[in-house]
Amino acid sequence: MFTFNHFNFNVLDLERSLAFYKDALGLTPVREKEASDGSFRLVYLGDGVSAFTLELTWLKDRTQPYDLGEGEFHLAFTVPDMEAAHQKHQEMGCICFENPAMGIYFIEDPDGYWIEVVPDKG
């Protein structure tokens, strides 16, 4: 049987991304790996509840934004208090799309990745 482990986003400014994910979603580093030559750094972020992690990959020589194609992919997070989460993200200015009819919205990280926020109905 296969189980989810992690998902990767490549980022240009690792410190900016770490701050965003901490502030916006409460994710914190659970492990890290750095190349001995300093050419890359991997930081795995966790939510403190599930075993799933988001891997942020920083490449030393990368200076251009990543091509996200048509952007038709995203991560999704559930939240018990949708109103409070929406208010927080609205104050941060990171909401990029809302679908009130479905009761969801999306935030955008510093590199243009979209993250869906859905209410926890369980």
The set of catalytic residues is 116
Token output for 34? 């750095």
Q: Are 65 and 13 in contact, with CB atoms under 8 Å apart?
A: no
- 97-120 burial, b if ≥16 CB within 10 A, otherwise e? eeeeeeeebbbbbebebbbbbeee
